[in-house]
A and B are shown apart, each in its own frame.
Chain A
Amino acid sequence: DSGVTQTPKHLITATGQRVTLRCSPRSGDLSVYWYQQSLDQGLQFLIQYYNGEERAKGNILERFSAQQFPDLHSELNLSSLELGDSALYFCASSSPAGGRPTDTQYFGPGTRLTVL
């Protein structure tokens, strides 16, 4: 158990809909990262937040957005969903100080999104 929690575990929705994925980092971790894992694209880094602010951006679509709240939990919002958005979405958190990208990241179990 990494200490990172993600809800829900599974999500089934229809094209055009909007969903929110939630991540709670390990206690004390200030950085949160979001990743997408799909059969087509493999594992892709989406975005990183550090202490409430966006720190780095990867291959995140404009239809997707994220935020980190004062209690450090994070949400990934996916809108206008397409079939190709079906994937496993992982959240990771890293050590308390600095939020450096080379800090060890601890991954949550993921949210499996299925778009029908």
Chain B
Amino acid sequence: AQSVTQLDSQVPVFEEAPVELRCNYSSSVSVYLFWYVQYPNQGLQLLLKYLSGSTLVKGINGFEAEFNKSQTSFHLRKPSVHISDTAEYFCAVQYNFNKFYFGSGTKLNVKP
């Protein structure tokens, strides 16, 4: 069965430190990958997406992610986080031009 795994439910980090949020998916011939951010009491906002081409994808707010087909991973990174990055982050995968599957989310807590 297709699935998306976000290994860390919570990630605490100090301001200006680097962060990596992990996402693994079950393998498929055709897969599109997304990262969304959800700020408190708001809807989701697309950070970045991988459809094809370069495996390093740059998104908004200084985030980037790398598609690794051999490890079936799509980890999200930021070299220096800000307090304003405190939010919940969701990895999503679309298989075979069809349904979306979301991970369980990772709460990023940036401390001063």
Chain B residue with the shortest CB-CB distance to A109 = B43
Query: Chain B contacts of A104 at CB under 8 A?
Result: 46, 49
Q: Considering residues A44, A56, A92, A102, which has the most beta carbons from chain B within 10 angstroms of its beta carbon? A: A102
Query: Chain A contacts of B102 at CB under 8 A?
Result: 42-45
Q: Which of B44, B49, B99 makes the CB contact (< 8 A) with A102?
A: B49
Interface residues on A, range: 20 to 34
Whether, in the assembled complex, B63 has its beta carbon less than 8 Å from a beta carbon of chain A, the answer is: no
Q: Considering residues A42, A57, A92, which has the most beta carbons from chain B within 10 angstroms of its beta carbon? A: A42
Contact, CB under 8 Å: B98 / A56? yes
Query: Chain A contacts of B42 at CB under 8 A?
Result: 109
Whether, in the assembled complex, A50 has its beta carbon less than 8 Å from a beta carbon of chain B, the answer is: no
In B25-45, the 8 Å CB interface with A consists of 32, 41-45
Chain B residue with the shortest CB-CB distance to A4 = B43
- B79-109 interface code vs A (CB 8 A; 1 in, 0 out): 0000000000010001001111111110000
Whether, in the assembled complex, B51 has its beta carbon less than 8 Å from a beta carbon of chain A, the answer is: yes
Q: Tell me the complex Cα distance, A108–B45, Å.
A: 10
Q: Tell me the complex Cα distance, A107–B98, Å.
A: 19
Contact, CB under 8 Å: A108 / B46? no
Query: Chain B contacts of A102 at CB under 8 A?
Result: 32, 49, 51, 94
Contact, CB under 8 Å: A107 / B44? yes
Q: Which of A45, A57, A90, A105 makes the CB contact (< 8 A) with B46?
A: A105
Q: Which residues of A contact B (CB under 8 A)?
A: 2, 4, 42-45, 56-58, 90, 92, 100-102, 104-105, 107-110
Q: Which residues of B contact A (CB under 8 A)?
A: 32, 41-46, 49, 51, 90, 94, 97-105
